[in-house]
């Protein structure tokens, strides 16, 4: 299984600011995924990050709000832009390996 | 649209009291059903993948089974360290997983 590191692990942010979350994987992977887990809820896929091409966003998520970079096969970033309290969530990076999806520890954002 | 429903939402067990968690799903062309364990403040930890009806997988006190409409996660003689939220997810075409709402399990000593 892949080892996935996320930074920051948690942060408290002010309304209207933006925060970038980093995801580092210990092996090269074709696809990386970004999920959101709102308080008390399950996981929702935000987008799929492909190396060398634009990210593919799920319904309800847009690039202006959640820009994603994928500069190489081991790294991706997710930016949460112009944050509001409704963006308070855990953001999780994940990768597919051997047909299974593995997750990082998550980045817990609190927006005041 | 793919749908996953888990029940119950929460389960309180005495140590040693076996029980089962249910995951009902509606999906076009199932390509895998996944079970995860999630501890508070952590990312989901992969447990099992099931691919076809009749398949079963075991890991320590956990056993997952799959039918054409649902999956069960059986916890045999649970211990307090089995306390966690258990998540079920399905994969259809592509690589997107659709998750259920989870079952919070509390095992009391």
The DSSP line for B2-15 is -EEEEE-SEEEEET
Residues A8, B6: Cα–Cα separation, whole Å:
31
| pLDDT average, residue stretch A88-97 | 93
Q: Residue A80 pLDDT more than 80?
A: yes
Q: Pick the residue of A11, A21, A38, A43 with the most B CBs within 10 A to test the interface with B by mutation.
A: A43
Read off the DSSP letter of residue B81: G
Q: Does the distance separating the beta carbons of B34 and A100 come in below 8 Å?
A: yes
Query: CA separation (Å) from A55 to A76, B20, B25?
Result: 11, 38, 28
pLDDT in tens, chain B (109 residues): 889 999 999 999 999 999 999 999 999 889 999 999 999 888 999 999 999 999 999 999 999 999 999 999 999 999 999 999 999 999 987 778 999 999 999 999 9
Going by pLDDT thresholds of 50, 70 and 90, the confidence category of residue A24 is very high
């Amino acid at each position: 299984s892949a080892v996935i590191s996320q930074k920051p692990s948690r942060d408290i942010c002010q309304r209207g600011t933006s925060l970038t979350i980093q995801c580092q994987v210990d092996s090269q992977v074709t696809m990386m995924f970004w999920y959101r887990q709102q308080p008390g809820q399950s996981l929702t896929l935000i987008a799929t990050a492909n190396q060398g091409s634009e990210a593919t966003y799920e319904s309800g998520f847009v690039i202006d709000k959640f820009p994603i970079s994928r500069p190489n096969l081991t790294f991706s970033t997710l930016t949460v832009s112009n944050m509001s309290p409704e963006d308070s969530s855990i953001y999780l990076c994940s990768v597919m390996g051997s047909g299974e999806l593995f997750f990082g520890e998550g980045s817990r954002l609190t927006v005041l | 649209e793919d749908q996953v429903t888990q029940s119950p939402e929460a389960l309180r067990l005495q140590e040693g009291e076996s029980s089962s968690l249910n995951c009902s799903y509606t999906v076009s062309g199932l390509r895998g059903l996944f079970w995860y364990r999630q501890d508070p403040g952590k990312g989901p930890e992969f447990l099992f993948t099931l691919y076809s009806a009749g398949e079963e997988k075991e890991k320590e006190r956990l056993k997952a089974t799959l039918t054409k409409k649902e999956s069960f996660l059986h916890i045999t003689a649970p211990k307090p360290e089995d306390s966690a939220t258990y998540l079920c997810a399905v994969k259809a075409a592509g690589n997107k997983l659709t998750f259920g709402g989870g079952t919070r399990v509390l095992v009391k000593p």
